[in-house]
Amino acid sequence: MDVREATVVELVIAARDGQRAAFATLYERFHRVVHAIALARVAACDAGDVVQDVFTDAWHKLPRLREPAAFPGWILAIARHRAIDAARRRPTLDAAADLAVEPPPRLEAAAALRAIRALPDTYRETLIMRLVEGLSGPEIAAHTGMSPDSVRVHLHRGMKLLRERLGEGGER
């Protein structure tokens, strides 16, 4: 099997059987949405660790995933649980922890990230997938199982709120 051309279901079946190359391809396809879920909840300096923990956890648990097609929702559920656990350990999202990453982000990036985190849950993850990870709306829909219309609505409503917040200067 050429993992580059394989479907998610084919990759899950192969990874479930222990093929690391297939699992690495699943990582390539899903690490950005997992990171977005983490970054919506935890400091930037912790989000990368959450991603690695999620995929290590998934590697161990994959043999118990009965329905390969359920992988996208399954990995995102693991990500949310892991991110919530990490957020409990560091309940305060301070500016320092968002700036303590390599390479150092611009200060305006930290301010914008804080503004996104202050938005309702519904919009946070989707906006981070789009604005931080650079995924298009259709890609977000494909990776999360949301309908394209829902993604479009979340993006536009979230963006409207974000522009208002940044325009107020309250997060700068």
Partner 1 sequence: MTDPLYDKTGDDPELAALEAALGDYAHRAPLRELPPRRRRRRTTVIAAVLGAIAVAALAVLVVGRRGEPDCRAAGTGFAFAVDGGPARCAGSLAAHGTLPVGAWLETAGAATADVQVADIGRLTVFGDSRVRLVGTGATGHRLELARGRIAARVTAPPRLFVVDTPTASAVDLGCAYELTVEPDGRTRLRVTSGAVSLEARGLAAYAPMDTEVLAAPGRGPGTPVARSASAALGDAVVRFDAGDRSAVPAIVASAGPGDTATLWNLLARTAADDRAAVFARLDALSPLPADISADAVRAGDPGALERWREALVDRWMCVGCFQKSRP
CA–CA dist 84, 119 (Å, integer): 17
Verify binding: residue 54, partner 1, rule CB under 8 A. no
Residue pair 90/43 in contact by the 8 Å Cβ criterion: yes
Verify binding: residue 100, partner 1, rule CB under 8 A. yes
Nearest residue to 58 (alpha-carbon basis) of 89, 29, 90? 29
Nearest CB to partner 1, comparing residues 7 and 163: 163
Q: Which residue in 11, 12, 13, 31 binds partner 1 (CB under 8 A)?
A: 31
Verify binding: residue 91, partner 1, rule CB under 8 A. yes
- State in angstroms the smallest separation of the CB of 117 from partner 1: 12
Q: Which residue in 137, 143, 144, 165 binds partner 1 (CB under 8 A)?
A: 137
DSSP assignment letter at 42 = S
Residue pair 130/137 in contact by the 8 Å Cβ criterion: yes
Q: Which residue in 1, 7, 63, 147 binds partner 1 (CB under 8 A)?
A: 63
CA–CA dist 49, 27 (Å, integer): 14
**CA 45, chain centre distance (Å):** 14
Residues with Cβ within 8 Å of 106's Cβ and at least 6 positions away in sequence, in order, are none
User: Residue 13 is which amino acid?
Assistant: I
The one segment of 6-14, 25-33, 67-75, 117-125 that binds partner 1 by CB under 8 A: 25-33
Q: Residue 139, SS3?
A: helix
Residues with Cβ within 8 Å of 103's Cβ and at least 6 positions away in sequence, in order, are none
The one segment of 1-9, 65-73, 90-98, 117-125 that binds partner 1 by CB under 8 A: 90-98
The one segment of 6-14, 67-75, 117-125, 154-162 that binds partner 1 by CB under 8 A: 154-162
**Residues within the interface to partner 1 (CB under 8 A):** 18, 20, 23-24, 27, 31-32, 35, 39, 42-49, 51-52, 55-56, 59-60, 63-64, 86, 89-92, 94-97, 99-110, 112-113, 128, 130-134, 136-138, 151-152, 155-156, 159, 163
